[in-house]
Amino acid sequence: MTARRVIRPPVSVPGPPVRLRTGHLVRLISSVGTLVLLGGVGAVAMLLSGVPVVAAIGATLLTALTLGSMALWALFLRPRRGRLEVLPGSGELRLPAVAGVRPIVVAWPWLGLVLAALLVLAGVVGIDMGPRIAGPGAGLVLAVIIIGALSRRDTGSHALPYVALSPRGLVHQKSKRRILVPWDEIDTVRIETKPGVLLRVRWAPELGQDEFVSFPLGLHASDPRLVLALVEHYRRHPEHREELADRSAVSRIERGAFLDER
């Protein structure tokens, strides 16, 4: 697998940028902003408490809030217009998850285990953490939940979901689940923005399963309009699909030779 590439193809896609609907975005930002503000104030107060265990809990919470805020910015506010971020190799062209999400995905279980250990330690040494739920019992429950999650999750390249275009079809990889929609079985492709930014792929009606498969484009750092154009190109041109197995697809994107005339 080669390094990810950010490409700005020399094409112009009509229409405004595709993003989460304004109402949903405003509610999300206001809710998360309030949570981060209140949580941040509480974490800083704990950090300045002068009690080592409490200060360590505050530092852990502040780290988690910082990484979570970075991930939310990358997912919902980062500009994507006119860019495609791709990861060629392994016989397919991947659209990797936005890089800002990786730190929190990798760090959250370890931060959770640290927090659980600190809560248990606080209870053992007799530090009053307020409500009973924030005591050693909560720490033990949290540790059990996280250890169980760690035992089931994949690591390495499968730690984050991704969308890929392969010679066989459109792929959505999420943990151990891999969904493949063959090119010749795709009827229509469109973008939706409720509840998130989704690429909705409809199976061909003659297959007897009139249903859609959703690909979450909000997880990726690519312009959804360019992703749609790229998918439509390979759906309409079976003679070009084999190039998805090597770097020929990257050359096509760099030339902008994938925007079909409608």
**Other Cβ atoms within 10 Å of 249 Cβ, number:** 24
pLDDT for the residue numbered 157: 44
pLDDT for the residue numbered 16: 59
Question: Whole-prediction pTM value?
Answer: 0.75
Q: Which tokens sit at 92?
A: 């397919």
167 vs 235: CA distance, rounded Å: 10
107 vs 145: CA distance, rounded Å: 15
pLDDT for the residue numbered 156: 43
64 vs 29, 201, 243, CA distance in Å?
A: 17, 35, 41
The residues near 55 (Cβ < 8 Å, ≥ 6 apart) are: 46, 47, 48, 49
Q: Quick one: which of 85, 94, 98, 97 has its CA closest to 245?
A: 94
Beta strand ranges found along 97-196 (DSSP E): 162-165, 169-174, 177-182, 186-192
pLDDT for the residue numbered 161: 77
Kindly report the backbone phi and psi dihedral angles of residue 55, in degrees, each rounded to the nearest multiple of 5, phi listed first. -65, -40
> Going from the N-terminus, what domains does the chain have, and what CATH number goes with each?
20-78+98-158 (no CATH), 162-255 (2.30.29)
Q: Quick one: which of 255, 252, 259 has its CA closest to 233?
A: 259
pLDDT for the residue numbered 209: 57
Per-residue pLDDT of the chain (262 residues; tens, 9 = 90+): 567 888 898 887 766 566 666 666 677 778 888 888 888 898 898 889 888 888 998 999 999 988 888 887 777 777 788 889 888 877 899 888 887 777 777 788 888 889 888 888 888 887 766 654 466 777 888 888 888 777 766 544 445 778 899 999 999 887 677 888 899 888 888 888 776 778 888 876 555 555 778 888 878 888 888 999 999 999 999 999 999 998 888 999 999 888 765 4
pLDDT for the residue numbered 238: 93
Kindly report the backbone phi and psi dihedral angles of residue 58, in degrees, each rounded to the nearest multiple of 5, phi listed first. -60, -40
240 vs 252: CA distance, rounded Å: 10
How buried is 46 (Cβ within 10 angstroms: 0-12 exposed, 13-18 middle, 19+ buried)?
buried
